[in-house]
Structure 1
Amino acid sequence: MEKDIKSLLLKYKTFIGLIVLCIVISIITPKFLTITNIINVLTQVSVNAIIAVGMCFVILTGGIDLSVGSTLAVSGAIAASMVYKGANVFTAMVVALIIGALIGLFNGIIISKGRIQAFIVTLASMTIFRGVTYVYTEGTPISGLSESFMIIGNDKILGIPLPVIIMFLVLFIAWYLLSQTRYGRYVYALGGNEDSSRLSGINTDKIKTLVYVICGATAALSGIIVTSRIGSASPNAGVGFELDAIAAVVLGGTSLAGGEGSVIGTILGAMIIGVLNNGLNIMNVSPFYQSIVKGFVILLAVMLDKKNK
């Protein structure tokens, strides 16, 4: 019986951790458990959660993508400039998503065909595409965007912010791909043992490349949402977002070694980070201390996860 309870707790540890965190913060500050604040938390979480879903695909294969923040910035800047010049909003969104996917394709091909470590490749592309963003924007924000574009990040449907709806749509699509398709099984197999996967006839290079394409596309989607929400595309957008995305994936129970994890856990991990940030903000904790607290929470989660394996 005790073993079954322990197994159950380990299986749902991320969800339990989120509930406990919500209870603690709501006891400390009653302002937390209000409808307005909960919707605010979900809206704030949406951008990181969407990036983290793409990052989950990459980490499940044993890889990493440090370029998502730069991908977000350059995709958002391109979408904003197109809208500013009078382009159709849908066209601008499609182009931005294609740009993000192409950056992912760039990373994936070099990693899979060049047999270079993902950390090195994506670190280089993070620098390259941040530079591209500065060159494209000439170092200044792109403002004056149309109201139709601003709808994406600020409108609501039945009282639910559009970014939150997009987040759950992305979650559903990712869950379906990973749990209900052959491609999803191959992703887990690749992360579990790449050599065995290759010997069993799986095109590991194709699977590996495609996870980076997915990650680039989700980063671009987040770039569209961020740009729409603030009504401006900043060349500094997305700085540090890769760390929050990786943290969400790790907190969600996905192994950095690959082959184990889920997008549902990743969303819960993103929620933990969002709830923690929101709670600390309500309690007027300095942003400097917030970084320290968040860092220790992530470290603790990794240590507990490693201990229980």
Structure 2
Amino acid sequence: MTMTTRRTTDRVRSGVEAALAGKGIFIALAVILVVAAVLAPNFYAQVNIANTLRRASILGLLTIGQFLVLTVRGVDLSVAAMVGVTAVAITTSGNIAIGLLIALGIAGAVGAANSWLVVRRSVPAFVATFGTALVLEGGKLLWTRGALSAESPAPLVDLARASLGPVPLPVILWIVATVAAVAWTQRTVSGRRFVLSGANPRMTRLSGIGVGGKVWLAFTLAAVLAVLSGALLVGFSGYVDQNVGAGMELDSITAALLGGARFKGAEGSFVAAMGGVLVLGAMSTLIVVLGFPPQIQDVAKGVVLILALTLHWPRRR
């Protein structure tokens, strides 16, 4: 192959990769939907679509927070525990508003603790947030004596299962939150500085912009969004037990990575992350409709994530 031919091939390959960047996850979603139409037409039953979108919106709100943390080169393993704490606060306080205020107060403390450990004490985010997750889980067990079992408050059930026309209300909240995140990071000075702090922390500091405040904001928003996600999950499930929220931290990381986020910060997009959430949601529903064991979902998620990262890595390298 001549040098000219090689350069032409490289340009064509780069052009194709650039065109597919951020769109590959939606191609994967389209493939899943086509497979569902062929193998499991019941997938498109109204109740299945509505429930899939509701579950996706709950995970989607959590993923926005996770994406923000990944943008500043962190990761948050405490969000699922925060979802569980929210469920406990709501169902044991006797009042939804008081329960939410308690959960938001804890979320503020968790965000501050995570950012302090990461910024001031230079603890890796993985270790810091794993520690706070253990504290939250331990506190939840102490409060409930390891035997949480309660019906969800009726107002939350009505909220989580409500619709505006054909669109479930949680989906609308998810879309609004995503639009707000995109507008902030792309259209405002503070948002651009937030992204810059993850793209190049050293340059950000040399520019006189504090990085610590951005990390605190990311972890705090992630915890607050976990509270909102937890409240909707309580309403959607209709029943709360000790395992509420379990595994959602890994699902949110997976969805964010499918959306192009990377641990080195400032990559991917919130819209692509929405695609990642929808892929996981559609895949889970398809597995259930086809009658496969629920455990297959974890295998499928792992395969999809590995394939996505494998296809993405050569382009980034």
What is the TM-score with the length of structure 1 in the denominator? 0.92
Match of 2:259 among 238, 252, 258: 252
Partner of 1:168: 175
Q: Which residue is 1:291 aligned to?
A: 298
Is the CA contact (8 Å cut-off) linking 1:55 and 1:249 kept in structure 2? yes
Which of the residues 150, 163, 177 maps onto 2:157? 150
* 4+ long deviations beyond 4 Å: none
Equivalent residue for 2:7? none
Residues 264/11 of structure 1: CA separation in 2 closer, same or farther (3 Å cut): closer
Q: Is the 8 A contact 1:73 1:233 kept in 2?
A: no
Tell me if the contact between 1:58 and 1:215 (Cα under 8 Å) persists in the aligned partners.
Answer: yes
Assess if the C-alpha contact under 8 Å between 2:112 and 2:220 holds in 1: yes
Root-mean-square deviation (Å): 1.9
Count of aligned pairs between the two proteins: 305
Matched, 1:57 2:68: yes
Q: Partner of 1:196 in structure 2?
A: 203
Please say if residues 62 and 191 of structure 1, whose CA atoms lie closer than 8 Å, have aligned partners that are also in contact.
Answer: yes
| CA drift at 1:180 | 1.8
State the shift of 1:130 in Å: 0.5
What is the deviation of 1:202? Answer: 1.1
Considering only CA atoms, is the larger Rg found in Structure 1 or Structure 2?
2
Which stretch of the first structure deviates more once superposed, 56-65 or 5-14? 5-14
Aligned match for 2:289, one of 282, 290, 293: 282
Q: Which residue of 2 aligns with 1:138?
A: 145
What is the aligned partner in structure 1 of residue 124 from structure 2? 117
Q: Which moved more, 1:256-265 or 1:266-275?
A: 256-265
Segment drifting more, 258-267 vs 136-145? 136-145
Q: For residues 242 and 263 of structure 2, what CA distance do their matches in structure 1 show? A: 30
The residue type equivalent to 1:42 in the other structure is: L
Match of 1:28 among 19, 36, 39: 39
**Given that residues 77 and 142 in structure 1 are in contact (C-alpha distance below 8 angstroms), is that contact kept between their aligned partners in structure 2?**
no
| Runs (5+) with no aligned partner, structure 2 | 1-10
- Is 1:107 the counterpart of 2:114 in the alignment? yes
- Structure 2 counterpart of 1:102, one-letter code: A
- Post-superposition offset of 1:217: 0.6
Distance 2:272 2:153 in 1: 36
- Mapped contact 1:187–1:259 kept (Cα < 8 A): no
Q: Is this contact kept in 2: 1:141–1:232, CA < 8 A?
A: no
Cα offset, 1:96, TM superposition: 2.3
Return the offset for 1:19.
1.4
Percent of aligned pairs sharing the same letter: 26
Q: Which among 210, 221, 229 is matched to residue 222 of structure 1?
A: 229
Contact 2:152 / 2:234 at 8 angstroms: preserved in 1?
no
Residues 264-298 of structure 1: CA distance to partner in whole angstroms, max 9, x if unpaired? 11111011111111111111111223322221111
How high is the TM-score relative to the length of structure 2? 0.90
Residue by residue, what CA displacement relative to the aligned partner does 1:109-161 show, whole Å, maximum 9, x if unpaired? Answer: 22112121101100111111001111112212252554223222222232432
Tell me which of 176, 193, 197 is aligned to 1:186: 193
